[in-house]
């Protein structure tokens, strides 16, 4: 999906945390880059990540789940 060298250089634009790749449509190079630290998912379209925090999707983090108990 993404060039491994590019992925090594990328970090979350919001909190500078590490990113995890999730391929949603590998044949089209589409997917998401997840930051589990702050709970953002950056959209990847045709192999190009959109790293704008205001356009990222919010995901549930472990901290979000602990508040349910």
User: Where residue 13 sits, what CATH number does that domain have?
Assistant: 2.20.25.10
Give 8 or 39, the one with higher predicted confidence.
39
Q: Tell me the mean pLDDT in the region 32-53.
A: 94
Q: What is the pLDDT of residue 66?
A: 63
Tell me the percentage of the chain whose pLDDT exceeds 70.
Answer: 86
Domain containing 31 equals 4-61
Query: With 0-12 CB in 10 A as exposed, 13-18 as middle and 19+ as buried, what is 58?
Result: exposed
- pLDDT of residue 69 exceeding 60, the answer is no
In a domain, 69, yes or no: no
In a domain, 45, yes or no: yes
Q: Say how many domains are in the chain.
A: 1
In a domain, 44, yes or no: yes
In a domain, 67, yes or no: no
Cβ contact 32:43 at 8 Å: yes
pLDDT band at 68 (very low <50, low <70, confident <90, very high): low
- pLDDT of residue 43 exceeding 60, the answer is yes
């Amino acid at each position: 999906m993404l060039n491994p060298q590019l992925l090594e250089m990328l970090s979350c634009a919001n909190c500078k945390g590490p990113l995890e790749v999730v391929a949603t449509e590998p044949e089209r190079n589409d997917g998401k880059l997840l930051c589990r630290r702050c709970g953002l998912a950056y959209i990847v379209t045709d192999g190009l990540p959109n790293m704008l925090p205001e356009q990222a999707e919010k995901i549930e983090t472990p901290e979000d789940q602990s508040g349910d108990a």
